[in-house]
Amino acid sequence: MRFSIYRYNPETDAKPYMRDYQLDIDASGKMLLDAILLLKAQDETLSVRSSCREGVCGSDALNINGRNGLACITPLSDLKEPIELRPLPGVPVIRDLVVDLSQFYHQYRAIRPYLVNQDPEPEIERLQAPEQRAELDGLYECILCACCSTACPSFWWNPDKFLGPAALLQAYRFLADSRDQATNERLDYLEDPYRLFRCHTIMNCVDVCPKGLNPALAIGKIRSLLVKRTI
């Protein structure tokens, strides 16, 4: 199989370039990450992140043939050759396919991704009805792989001010949680023209999410909460 991979080592290369690779591999039943690890065995200067190999950790998010996805759960046989691998778009490249996601994590931290509850801690746990728990389905599954935010043009233009789909999905995850008491503070934070309202419902986030989540829907629900609170 033929590969074209983005290479850039800031210590030795003046500019990034694409390098072609050949790999003898039977594609059936194998994932893209298997091929990348074999390529890395061939050329150990190739830098790439990976960990769990089964779409749970979110480390190996890449731009695969122009589309963000996780290498470990992308079947090799589905890809058109030459397979073009690039780092996630719109974020600084550290080396080859490894990117710096500081800005992404910064935005995640900004939405306070934890329960805020001033009530005295119960002896065992804070209980939820099954329906209340069901509200969190489609939200809590996010693995923060950054596929969605780095596919979002609004995040490309304003990564410092727009929270991005991943952080907004998590913002709604805590707004929707029956145990959270900071709804008003959270909505205050999101009412800004940049933080949430840079979203123009382009829906790239929904298109690329490897976990099949829908940040655009969550953003729509936050807007409804804001409208209900104000009107």
Q: Catalog residues that contact other proteins under the rule CB under 8 A.
A: 106, 109-110, 153-154, 157-158, 185, 188-198, 200, 223, 226-227, 230
- Provide the minimum distance between the beta carbon of 197 and other proteins in the complex, in angstroms, as a whole number: 4
Beta bridge partners of 186: none
CA neighbor of 150 nearest in space, from 61, 47, 39, 228: 61
Dihedrals phi, psi of 25, to nearest 5 degrees: -150, 140
Q: Classify residue 90 by its DSSP letter.
A: T
- Provide the minimum distance between the beta carbon of 19 and other proteins in the complex, in angstroms, as a whole number: 32
- Provide the minimum distance between the beta carbon of 16 and other proteins in the complex, in angstroms, as a whole number: 23
Query: How many whole angstroms separate alpha carbon 217 and alpha carbon 219?
Result: 5
Closer by beta carbon to other proteins, 110 or else 127: 110
Tokens standing for 166? 């991943």
Closer by beta carbon to other proteins, 17 or else 194: 194
Closer by beta carbon to other proteins, 49 or else 195: 195
Closer by beta carbon to other proteins, 6 or else 189: 189
Closer by beta carbon to other proteins, 100 or else 191: 191
Tracing tokens 């596929």 back to the chain, one arrives at: 147
Query: How many whole angstroms separate alpha carbon 154 and alpha carbon 203?
Result: 11
Dihedrals phi, psi of 212, to nearest 5 degrees: 70, 30
- Provide the minimum distance between the beta carbon of 108 and other proteins in the complex, in angstroms, as a whole number: 11
- Provide the minimum distance between the beta carbon of 4 and other proteins in the complex, in angstroms, as a whole number: 30
Closer by beta carbon to other proteins, 40 or else 223: 223
Secondary element (H or E) of residue 38: helix 32-42
- Provide the minimum distance between the beta carbon of 156 and other proteins in the complex, in angstroms, as a whole number: 9
What distance lies between CA 57 and its chain's CA centroid? 11
* Burial class of 212 by CB neighbour count within 10 A (0 to 12, 13 to 18, 19+): exposed
